[in-house]
Amino acid sequence: MKRNAFTTLALTATLGLALPASSHAQSTSAAPSTWRSLIEPSMSAWRGYKEQGVPKEWTVKNGVLSKTVSTNDLVTKDEFQNFELTFDWMLHPGGNAGVFYRGDEEGQKIYFTGPEYQLLDDARHPDGKSRLTAAGSDYALYPSPAGIVKPADQWNSSRIVVRGNHVEHWLNGQKVVEYEFGSPDWEARLKASKFATAPKYGRLPRGHIGIQGDHEGPLSIRDMRIRVLP
């Protein structure tokens, strides 16, 4: 993920934006322990960030959600509070993307509010040189261990669990990140990160799931499912 828009954050937050309406999946869209697929040909679960429809660069074919060029991020129409999200993903050599959670649309990008599960080709992308920005990390705050992500052009399996303030990132069957929103450790890491000037980052009790599309190169995601947790 690149970060070059933070200078606009204060103005954006002050002026506000007219946003598309969203529903609240925690109370209306899914019962606890009921899995719901987020990938279908109609892409009815998604729209573009601050858009009503889905950007044309995103497509679903044979159960795989993909894009091949830089385009707008996707966000779920619903918002989620406590949930478990699972999915497989694949990048081409040098690829870089991310999945966001508990984000809103007040900033120029969803990463102003939503933490990111980093998707990366660690071996070929510069972000792979730091565990803070490597595959599976909570981007720029919590590092992931090396040696777990598979090479480019192979499928990786990921899982994100968010319940209250507790967050877990899993990669290929191993828990790689665990943290608590608002804990002293989290506050210290946030203060030391590039998100220190984003007042709502990681502080929303619920929000959209997002998929980053604004990097160049192909991204493929399959078997993305979510269930609401009590």
Is 60 exceeded by the pLDDT of residue 186? Answer: yes
Angle, CA 1 vertex, CA 60 and CA 109 arms, to 5°: 80
Task: Give the pTM.
Answer: 0.88
Tell me how far the alpha carbon of residue 137 is from its chain's centroid: 11
User: What's the confidence (pLDDT) of residue 1?
Assistant: 62
| Rounded average pLDDT over 177-196 | 98
The pLDDT of residue 87 is: 99
**206 within 8 A of 15, measured Cβ to Cβ:** no
Own/partner long-range contacts of 126-134 (Cβ < 8 Å, ≥24 apart)? 127/1, 127/96, 133/1
Report pLDDT for 11. Answer: 37
Per-residue pLDDT band at 9 (split at 50, 70, 90): very low
Average predicted confidence (pLDDT) for the chain? 90
pLDDT (average), residues 70-74: 98
CB hemisphere CA count around 126 (13 angstroms): 2
Residue 51's pLDDT band, with cuts at 50, 70 and 90, is: very high
* Both structure tokens of 74: 């996707």
CATH no. of 37-228: 2.60.120.560
* Annotated domain spans of the chain: 37-228
Residue 29 pLDDT: 47
pLDDT at residue 132 greater than cutoff 70? yes
Evaluate if residue 202 carries a pLDDT over 60. yes
**Number of neighbours of residue 203 by Cβ within 10 angstroms:** 12
Residue indicated by tokens 């990366």:
120
